[in-house]
Amino acid sequence: MNDIADVIRPKIDTTGIVERPRRLRTSPAMRSLVRESRINPDGFIQPLFVVPGTRLREPIPSMPGIERLSVDETVRECRELARLGVRAVLLFGIPESKDAAASSNYDPNGIVQRAAREIKNALPEMIVAADLCNCEYTDHGHCGIVDQSGYVDNDRTLEILVMTALTYARAGVDIIAPSDMMDGRVGAIRRALDADGYVRTTIMSYAAKYASAFYGPFREAADSAPAFGDRRTYQMDPGNAREALREVRLDVDEGADIVMVKPALAYMDVIRRVREAVDRPVATYNVSGEYAMVKAAGERGWIDEAQVVDEMLLGFARAGADIVITYFAKDYLRRHGG
């Protein structure tokens, strides 16, 4: 009588199978040995929101685990990040006052300038990047000077960006990151920095920044939502990828040292195209809405948050990102032995 397995199992001739990729998946050690893409924690940048005051840690409701920090608490947070292995932070300032000309932005004693000085004094090896935009500093919430028709004036905005970039460099900022999407801003900033002696200050341009719905929680955190209209006349249309390459090449030609794609999760095809098109380091920003979605689903038990975060970060690396700006940097390093 035939064995039951012989009855129910079809007779398949496997002698002709030459390729057996499953041999390389037999154990965690084997899978790790042959892994093509890896997460690089040395390439993480943790964003930080800095507010006036002292001893302040204000939770951001739409971004669980992220807080607005006073300058002293920002320094304390940087010490903890450095202990875990985070080597770079990206500062966003929320000023005490706003006006139409974003004058708090280029104040030498502004919130970002003060935070940068204190961080560099306490932790000289920490890389301090500063987001360079005007939306947190204008009373209308747009990224530049608005004319009577409500249109953002490109060239008048450049003047403010250049003045602010110089105050950032003088405060010790290592990386200036213009995120405004004005035409010609990288070249104007580079020329001004070089003329003022800051030839070693790096520019990380938000080269392909899309007009995205994923920014909602950030606008709550930074109090930067536009009071009227939207930002589609200067941020990129989400349907365009070839245009992203044009924007990136322009920024590289103007002197950008690092180019960025923002957001990350829905734009990994753009990250890949940019990686293949330029020889500069490529950054991507794992933005607030991406963070909030994962946190919300994780809190409800719908996903395994830690596994999803690791898979998402690996996806950015696979797409070609060298640098990942992510609110998950601290948590990732806590989980992985930081």
Any domain includes 241: yes
Is 262 part of the annotated catalytic residue set?
yes
Any domain includes 13: no
Is 295 part of the annotated catalytic residue set?
no
- Please indicate whether residue 9 or residue 60 has the higher confidence score (pLDDT): 60
Give pLDDT, residue 7. Answer: 57
Residue 274: C-alpha distances to residues 263, 278, 279, 290 (Å): 14, 6, 9, 21
Domain that holds residue 64: 38-335
Q: Is the pLDDT of residue 107 over 60?
A: yes
Q: Is the pLDDT of residue 294 over 90?
A: yes
Any domain includes 16: no
Any domain includes 45: yes
Q: Is the pLDDT of residue 1 over 60?
A: no
Q: Is the pLDDT of residue 286 over 60?
A: yes
Mean pLDDT for the chain?
92
Tally of structural domains, the chain: 1
Structure-block tokens of residue 236: 């990129």
- Please indicate whether residue 24 or residue 233 has the higher confidence score (pLDDT): 24
Given pLDDT bands bounded at 50, 70 and 90, which one contains residue 26?
A: very high
- Please indicate whether residue 141 or residue 268 has the higher confidence score (pLDDT): 268
CATH code: domain of residue 289: 3.20.20.70
Any domain includes 219: yes
- Which member of 11, 98, 120, 209 is catalytic? 209
Residue 219: C-alpha distances to residues 141, 275, 335 (Å): 10, 29, 28
- Which member of 11, 98, 120, 262 is catalytic? 262
